[in-house]
Structure 1
C-alpha cells in the first residue's frame, strides 16, 4: 500500500519500532528525505533524532547510478560491482570522491553549525531512510554509527528492494522494512507525495525534534516531583 507522504511512512514505521522506546535509542536519518520519516518515529518513541550525513558517489555522466557513499566521518563505501559494470576508472573514482568530500564539509556545516552530534557511545542507533533502491548509502551510515560507539545498529525503511535488504541484513544487527515489493522500479511510486525535501525543512524538523524531547523531559520531571510530593503527604 503506498504511503501518503514521508510523515505517514514515519508514523507507520513507528508502530513497528515501539520496542525501541528507550533513552539509549538514537535515530539517525539520512538527509534529506529520511528526516521527515525519522521525525515521526522520534516523536512517537520520545527518543533523540540526529542525522547521518552521507554523500552519494555517482557515476560520471550517469548521475542516477551510485557506485559508492561517503560518510561525514570520512569513511567510504564502494560498490565494486557497479564500478566494474559502469566502467568507472580509477581517476574518475578518485575525482568524484574528492569532489564529494568538499561538498560533504559544506553539508555538515549547513546541518550542524556549532551543534555537536548526538553521542552514540553505548546507544542503539537506528538508521532511518525514506526508501532504498541500493544498499550503499545506508551501509555507510551503519558503519559510521558503529565507528562512533553504537552498541547496536538497526536499519529502518518504509520500502526497499530485496537486494538491498539482503546486503544490509548482513551488516546491521536488525532490519525493519514495511514493504519489499518483488518488482521495484523506484521509490517514488510508493508515495502519493514524494516531493523533494529542502534542507531548510529537514533542519527545522531536527530542531523541532530536539525541542519536543526537551519539553517531554521537563514534563516528566515535573510529573515525577508532583507524584513524589503527593506520596509524602
Structure 2
C-alpha cells in the first residue's frame, strides 16, 4: 500500500490547471533536479506535467496507456494496454466481471486504435522516454474514478519504473485508496468529502486541444535537446 499524502479536504477551486500545478510543485520539491520523469495523461494532464517538469527541472513525457474497461462497466479497469501494445491484465477481476478472451482482445484492439492515433501525432515530435530504473511521477488535472490513472500505474511498473508516484491536484479518497494498492506514493493537494466532478474544482476548466498538447511537447522536445 502506497504512502498517501492528502494536504487538504477543502473544496476551494483552483484558478486553472497551471495554478493547480504550481500548488502541487510545493509537495514535490524532493524530486527537483533529479533523474525523475514526469508523465502527463493527455490531454489535461499534459498541462500539469509541463508545469511540474519545468518547475522541478526534470524530464517530461506523455503516457499513452489506456484502460481496458469491464464488459458491463467500462469505467472499471480490468487491465491496461500500453502504446507498444503490451497488455497488463488483472486476471482475477477479468474473471469476476465475465471478460472473455475474445472480449479482452477486442477491447485491446479498440484502445490501441485510439493510442495509435496519438502516437502518430506525438511521437514524431517527442520520442518515448525510457522509464526503466527511474522514479516516475504520473499526473493528471484530477482523478475521478481513477481507472485511467490505475492503468498508467500498471503500465509504467511493467516497463520497469523503480518508483511510481501519483501526483494530482484533486481526487476522491476512495479512488486514491484503490490506486494506492499499486503505486508507491500518492500526493494529492485536495480531497474533499463530496467530490462530484473534476471541473468543479477549477474556475477555468477549458478543454485542452490537441494543438495545445502538440505545442507543449514541441517545447519539451526542444528542452530535452538543449539539456543534451
In the alignment, the residues of structure 2 paired with residue 112 and residue 213 of structure 1 have an alpha-carbon distance, to the nearest angstrom, of: 14
With normalisation by structure 1, the TM-score equals 0.79
The higher-RCO structure (CA 8 Å, 6+ apart) is 2
More helix by share: 1
In the alignment, the residues of structure 1 paired with residue 179 and residue 50 of structure 2 have an alpha-carbon distance, to the nearest angstrom, of: 22
* Residue aligned with 2:13, SS: coil
Larger Rg: 1
- Counterpart of 2:76 (choices 67, 84, 97) is 67
In the alignment, the residues of structure 2 paired with residue 210 and residue 152 of structure 1 have an alpha-carbon distance, to the nearest angstrom, of: 24
Task: Kindly indicate whether residue 26 of structure 2 is the aligned counterpart of residue 26 of structure 1.
Answer: no
Q: Match of 1:231?
A: none
In the alignment, the residues of structure 1 paired with residue 51 and residue 176 of structure 2 have an alpha-carbon distance, to the nearest angstrom, of: 22
In the alignment, the residues of structure 1 paired with residue 135 and residue 182 of structure 2 have an alpha-carbon distance, to the nearest angstrom, of: 15
The root-mean-square deviation of aligned C-alpha atoms, in Å, is: 2.7
Task: Kindly indicate whether residue 199 of structure 2 is the aligned counterpart of residue 196 of structure 1.
Answer: no
Task: Kindly indicate whether residue 98 of structure 2 is the aligned counterpart of residue 98 of structure 1.
Answer: no
Matches within 5 A, 1:1-233: 1-57=12-68, 65-68=74-77, 69-73=80-84, 74-76=86-88, 80=93, 84=97, 94-113=105-124, 115-212=126-223, 214-215=225-226, 217=227
The runs of 5 or more residues in structure 2 that have no matched partner are 1-11
In the alignment, the residues of structure 2 paired with residue 44 and residue 128 of structure 1 have an alpha-carbon distance, to the nearest angstrom, of: 14
With normalisation by structure 2, the TM-score equals 0.81
How many residues are aligned here?
212
**Structure 1 stretches of 4+ moved >3 Å:** 56-62, 76-81, 87-97, 212-215
Q: Once the 2 structures are TM-superposed, how far is the Cα of residue 119 of structure 1 from its aligned partner?
A: 1.7
